Structure 1
Amino acid sequence: MSKKRVTSFDVAKRAGVSRSVVSAVLNDTPGIGVGADTREAVLEAIRELNYHVDAGARSMKTGRSMTLAAYGDTRHPLFIRLLEGMQRECELGGYHILLCSPRPKGNAGGRAELLELYHQRKIDGIVTLDHTSYRDEEWASRVSAAGVPYVSVEGYAEVPGVQSVLADYSGSVETAMNYLMRESTAQQPGPVYAEVYHEGEADNWAERNRREAYTSWCTSRGMEPVIVRLEEHGGAWADCLQRLTVGSGQPSAPLLVNWSSAIPDLYRAAHKLGLRIGADLRIMAADNTIQGDRLSLPSLSCVEIPYVSMGEEAVRCLLAQMSGGNGNKAGHQAGKIWLPAVLRAGESA
């Protein structure tokens, strides 16, 4: 037979107080003063009886499940870093995280289930990690109609009315260029921007922002922008590096690459050409996707998209929505919060 469940009534009886006092201790209820001795008596009774709060009953009373849904692919390293930030902020607010993964087909990619969880009062809000070109207006409309507190990380950058936490890709390129060219001389060729793309991948706002920021940086300093496009794992790095190498005794053009995931192929090509990274060829990445600064030798100089901070900010936005705010800060575009990238200085530049 199952053991009888301990209730707040049992705790109140053991501590010699009313149930309202037990509730005040458990929930830090404002306006109800509880003396130190009384509080300790309640806590002692809780320990002795091994009492646990009934989450279902608390949810019915407060209307909160104290759980937030995090939607993304757990096989993706960026989602894991986002979760790290969400967990930090959730712990501060007493919230838990429910992981929800995309479905291969149907059910709106698995998102429809999120709305069901909200209607069942199993979650209080939703954070999704989206690709930078994501802008499903049907999903946004359903979320709005349901009144669900919602934040997209990286999605809906160009869609008003949807709360997004975004990386400042323009600022990341400017930071990278300032560092890459910090010791440039009159003899130093202008920097080259290598835009690596996946086969069949469409252009998106993040890549456009990076490209435009590079072009603006060069033209504002009287340098000619040089942009080369390479398919990921396409084997064209050797030709690209040979174009950068002016000749013996002459400095090579510094190279800014959009993705750190391209760095292993680039390093291999440089090794085959006898080019020393950081000496004969200065390289930097504008997006430390795979944390290449830790995985490459010589260590990679890069700017890192702050996914941990973006996870923290997403939770803060949700809590602000739940409390009646819009989650925005002064100076931010309505509905959009932009976070700066972080410089990681290495040996490659």
Structure 2
Amino acid sequence: MKKRVKMVDVARAANVSRTTVSLVLNGIPGVRIAETTRQRVLQVARELGYSPGPLIENLDPGRKRLFGVMINEISAAYPIDLIYGLQNWADAHGLQIVIQVTDSAADHEIAALENFARFGVEGVVYANTFTAIVSPPVSLGNFRHVLLNCRREDSSGFAVLPAERHGGMLAADHLIETGRRRIATITGDPWQLASIERLAGYHRSLNRAGLNHGARFERVSDWGHASGHAAARELLSLSAPPDALFCHNDIVARGAMAAVHEMGLKVPEDLAIIGYDDREFARDLGISSVTLPLAEMGERALSELAGESVPADRTVTVQGRLVARMSTGASR
């Protein structure tokens, strides 16, 4: 039986990211992609025989299943991975999904649900770009639904989240296992769930090993390169600087690595660095990272929604994995 061509195959053949392929093949509006790139992706998809899966009109009437996906924004790699996971699972099981972007506006969310009602969707995935506490419209309760990368304050409903605390522990444990004993961290925005949970995991591992040096080894960033660079310089300027650094995303880690080199030091000899999210550039720069399993989360959410039983009140977490590279002493 011939192997089914997937988006990742198209991305590899076209020499572009999976995100770019997803944007082009799903026809996501409002995204700027060079026309030459778009045409190359389409041409490669045609040559490889890529198919997005069966269309609704081609399915047996008794098997036509349509699901709605509403998401707050399409502005970065993260939501594309969520959508990729949803689309991948839908394709594999003969389902169709329709996506509505709401900009987190209450009236847009209500309008999206009204559209879903007209389309006759069987269920709704309520998704968020970044892990968050949300307050969906009351009318979402009219649909069988699941929450993806978000949850309600009272944890009601079925929600799928990344295991961020576990990820923080993976990062800290890896640094400990490589022999580091002065382990610092640079968080993201302190109010975001991802920062809170990743920091909690970091604390748990360091406390367990008796290596928690307290707030003097903790800095806050805005998730960006410049703030990661500044925070790393500050930490490395301490009278007794850290020998390892857990950055809460790969962009911050990239900024920290630039600071190390700028100060005439070496990675990982003087400072081991690990990031989070495992973005494509992390592989190119040799940055160790913890994966953010968004595609797997999308698959888990839709599989629950499409199952026979009504989703129960439950929060499911999906674990990422450690990817060790040069920045923590692993071979590149």
C-alpha separation in 2, matches of 1:189 and 1:172: 19
Equivalent in the alignment of 2:139: 142
From 293, 302, 305, the counterpart of 2:289: 302
Contact preservation (8 Å) 2:248, 2:275 = yes
C-alpha separation in 1, matches of 2:295 and 2:56: 32
C-alpha separation in 2, matches of 1:56 and 1:93: 14
Give the Å deviation of 1:301: 0.5
C-alpha separation in 2, matches of 1:58 and 1:270: 60
From 174, 186, 189, the counterpart of 1:194: 186
Equivalent in the alignment of 2:310: 325
**TM-score (ref. length: structure 2):** 0.71
Equivalent in the alignment of 2:298: 311
C-alpha separation in 1, matches of 2:83 and 2:187: 28
SS at match of 2:218: strand
Contact preservation (8 Å) 1:71, 1:128 = yes
Contact preservation (8 Å) 1:65, 1:121 = no
**How do residues 1-349 of structure 1 correspond to structure 2 at under 5 angstroms?**
55=57, 66-72=65-71, 73-103=73-103, 108=106, 110-130=108-128, 131-137=130-136, 139=137, 141-144=138-141, 146=142, 148-156=143-151, 158-184=153-179, 188-197=180-189, 203-224=191-212, 225=214, 226-231=217-222, 232=224, 233-234=226-227, 236-237=230-231, 239-243=233-237, 246=240, 252-288=242-278, 290-295=279-284, 297=285, 299-320=286-307, 323-326=308-311, 334-349=313-328
State the one-letter code of the partner of 1:119: A
State the one-letter code of the partner of 1:318: L
The percent of aligned pairs where both chains have the same amino acid is 18
Contact preservation (8 Å) 1:157, 1:336 = no
Count of residue pairs brought into register by the alignment: 267
C-alpha separation in 1, matches of 2:287 and 2:67: 36
C-alpha separation in 1, matches of 2:120 and 2:85: 21
C-alpha separation in 1, matches of 2:157 and 2:271: 43
Give the Å deviation of 1:65: 5.1
C-alpha separation in 1, matches of 2:95 and 2:181: 53
Give the Å deviation of 1:160: 2.2
For residues 72-103 of structure 1, the C-alpha deviation after alignment (integer angstroms, 9 at most, x for no partner) is 33332111111221122112221112121124
Give the Å deviation of 1:167: 0.6
Give the Å deviation of 1:56: 11
5+ residue gaps in structure 1? Answer: 1-51, 329-333
CA RMSD of aligned residues (A): 2.8
5+ residue gaps in structure 2? Answer: 1-53
For residues 245-303 of structure 1, the C-alpha deviation after alignment (integer angstroms, 9 at most, x for no partner) is 848xxxx5210011112123222212211122222210001343x444234x2x11010
> Structure 2 vs 1, CA of residues 153 and 291 (structure 1 numbering), >3 Å: closer, same or farther?
farther
C-alpha separation in 1, matches of 2:296 and 2:302: 10
Bigger mean CA offset, 214-223 vs 162-171: 214-223
SS at match of 2:177: coil
Contact preservation (8 Å) 1:65, 1:123 = no
Contact preservation (8 Å) 2:275, 2:288 = yes
For residues 4-23 of structure 1, the C-alpha deviation after alignment (integer angstroms, 9 at most, x for no partner) is xxxxxxxxxxxxxxxxxxxx
> Structure 2 vs 1, CA of residues 54 and 339 (structure 1 numbering), >3 Å: closer, same or farther?
closer
For residues 126-159 of structure 1, the C-alpha deviation after alignment (integer angstroms, 9 at most, x for no partner) is 223213223115x1x3211x1x121221111643
C-alpha separation in 2, matches of 1:95 and 1:210: 35
Give the Å deviation of 1:162: 1.9
